[in-house]
Structure 1
Amino acid sequence: MASLLGRMTADDQKPIVPTDWLFAIRKGFSSRALDSFGQNINATDAELAKMLGLSVRTLARRRRMLILTPNESDRLYRLARVVVRAGDVFDHRANGLVWLRSPNAALGGLTPMSMLDTDIGTEIVKDLLGRIEYGVFS
């Protein structure tokens, strides 16, 4: 996770245990985490904004402010967690990203990535990844 998000806090401390993540999210990730995530998944600003439920202008404003809100940090953490999970299921982050960006019949033709803007969509995608991992027909 830390490699996907890069430096998440202003003091450059990387979370080690779950409570570190909790405190980092509550404090608000550095906008560098957003940039690192975008680069690591090769996403445009428009795609990042959509995944985070923001406008492109708000995204630019967060970069100027150098910090995300706790809510935005939580969303970014949720997105990164799914990207890591998809990479684990498909044996490589690049393969996981291809799957996340491809229309999926089990999701009614939607791409898994398009569902990650809500908690319920994220849970549906994570459930589908679990079924794929264990060979359950999806």
Structure 2
Amino acid sequence: MPRSTGAQARNERAGVPAKSNWVVLQMTPEHLIARVRAGFEYQEFEFMQERLELSLRDLARLIQIPERTLMRRKQAGRLDPGESERLLRLERLLALAEEMFRDVDKALRWLKTPKSALGGNVPLEYAATEVGAREVENLIGRIRHGVFS
């Protein structure tokens, strides 16, 4: 079961329903497309920053948002569609890894450790591109199905 994060506790106190990253795996493509097109709320960025246990700077780098732009997004309260789509990639990978390991700490450790099947790259960093994210998803699928990788 995913552990509660500081962001989740704050959200619960503020009346925002708690989220599981697995929800992203259950959303229809139409719903995901609509959310991405509208741009994720900045709060989603902060939620993922805490879930991934990364600094704001590191998460911004992973989804290719310059620091000044990130500050503007915080003031506006919303990411643009491209940034939202890149954040969605990481949400999906975290959800798949959590589902595979059934443990958030193991999932995070796996996502942050270089993998020989990815040419020695770290899955979160490899997922900076759509092609890389698909390769990480494929690797997770192979592991889940017992294929040596």
Which TM-score applies when normalising by structure 1? 0.84
**Structure with larger RCO (C-alpha < 8 A, sep 6+):** 2
| Alpha-carbon separation, structure 2, partners of 1:98 and 1:38 | 15
State the shift of 1:22 in Å.
2.2
State the shift of 1:60 in Å.
1.9
Alignment of structure 1 residues 5-20 onto 2, 5 Å: 17-18=27-28, 19-20=30-31
| Alpha-carbon separation, structure 1, partners of 2:33 and 2:85 | 9
| Alpha-carbon separation, structure 1, partners of 2:107 and 2:135 | 16
Match of 1:99 in 2: 110
Match of 1:72 in 2: 83
Which TM-score applies when normalising by structure 2? 0.78
Q: Does 1:44 align with 2:55?
A: yes
| Alpha-carbon separation, structure 1, partners of 2:39 and 2:118 | 32
Q: What's the C-alpha RMSD, in Å, of the aligned pairs?
A: 2.5
Residue identity (%): 33
Give structure 2 stretches of 5+ with no counterpart: none
Give the secondary structure class of the aligned counterpart of 2:121: coil
Match of 1:132 in 2: 143
> What number of residue pairs does the alignment pair up?
132
1:104-125 CA-partner distances (Å, limit 9, x unpaired) = 1111211111111100000110
| Alpha-carbon separation, structure 2, partners of 1:135 and 1:102 | 20
Q: Tell me which of 59, 67, 72 is aligned to 2:70.
A: 59
Match of 2:92 in 1: 81
Label 1:108 to 1:20 Cα distance change in 2 as closer, same or farther (>3 A): closer
1:56-82 CA-partner distances (Å, limit 9, x unpaired) = 222222111111101111111121011
